[in-house]
Amino acid sequence: MRILLTNDDGINAPGLKVLESIARTLSDDIWIVAPEQEQSGASHSLTLHVPVRVRPISKRRFAVSGTPTDCVLLASQRIISDKKKIDLVLSGINRGSNVGDDVTYSGTVAAAMEAALLDIPAIALSQMCFDDQPIYWQTGDTHAPGIIKKLLKAGWPKGGLINLNFPACPPREVKGVSVSPQGKRMVSVGLTLRKDPRGRPYYWLGGDRDNTTESKEVDVARLSAGYITVTPIQMDMTDYPTVKRIKKIFSV
């Protein structure tokens, strides 16, 4: 099985090293194509207005000057030049969770989205963490191989991906695996006005996430409760009930 690894935290991110450890329990045909610099929040963006450069690091390891989406495209169409196809894309492990509304911002999830568009099975992996606490990378390293094997055996439809999140606790404290729908949570994006050394104004974007949710069954709540969350995501974003309803407005 040929596995492509990528992320949005960058080629030197500790989560990518953990992901490589996980991948090597599944196969010895591993390729790594990841951004040269951190691309958190890049979402499903392409680099269109500046050149994208590829830096070979070793035989199957490459750094790309663009986004996670660029990485998957370049890997599948240029970097991996032999005729053997990519069987699986693993994106992550992200430093921080990607649940609820995070998936629309996440470069980690976006890389898996691009793979899904290319009909390549893909899983996005993220590790919940807090700034004032250690990051429990060993939780994903311990639990991910078994979960991925089960997911691959079960399979999922083309055009979809799996979003996998690990709670902020040691492996032995994980309460279980919860297959949960995507939830919603408030994300407070702070806009702090500052001045540079020349007195010119600029804004610094950032904010804290509010994990409050109305449902205890969605990914946001289950992850906070100590469960590993597994959320299947489809790339088709059509609201079919509304399509059916508004068709009546335009019917002759």
CATH code for the domain in which residue 235 is found = 3.40.1210.10
User: How many separate domains does the chain show?
Assistant: 1
Least confident of 57-61, 126-130, 178-182, 204-208: 204-208
Least confident of 146-160, 171-185, 192-206: 192-206
Q: How far is CA 183 from the centre of its chain?
A: 16
Rg (the chain; Cα; Å)? 19
In a domain, 167, yes or no: yes
In a domain, 195, yes or no: no
pLDDT tens-digit map of 103-129: 999 999 999 999 999 999 999 999 999
In a domain, 70, yes or no: yes
In a domain, 194, yes or no: no
Q: Can the peptide bond before residue 79 be classed as cis, meaning omega within 30 degrees of 0?
A: no
Confidence band for 55, pLDDT divided at 50, 70 and 90:
very high
In a domain, 188, yes or no: no
Q: Which domain range does residue 42 map to?
A: 2-183+212-250
Most confident stretch, 143-152, 206-215, 231-240: 143-152
d(CA 186, CA 184): 7
Confidence band for 192, pLDDT divided at 50, 70 and 90:
confident
- Mean model confidence pLDDT for the chain: 92
In a domain, 91, yes or no: yes
Interhelix angle for 14-23 vs 137-154, to 10°? 40
Q: How far is CA 19 from the centre of its chain?
A: 12
Tally of CB atoms within 10 A around 11: 21
In a domain, 199, yes or no: no
Average pLDDT estimate for 33-51? 89
Most confident stretch, 150-154, 216-220, 238-242: 150-154
In a domain, 197, yes or no: no
Confidence band for 221, pLDDT divided at 50, 70 and 90:
very high
Q: Which of 142, 92, 82 is nearest to 122 (CA)?
A: 92
Q: How far is CA 203 from the centre of its chain?
A: 27
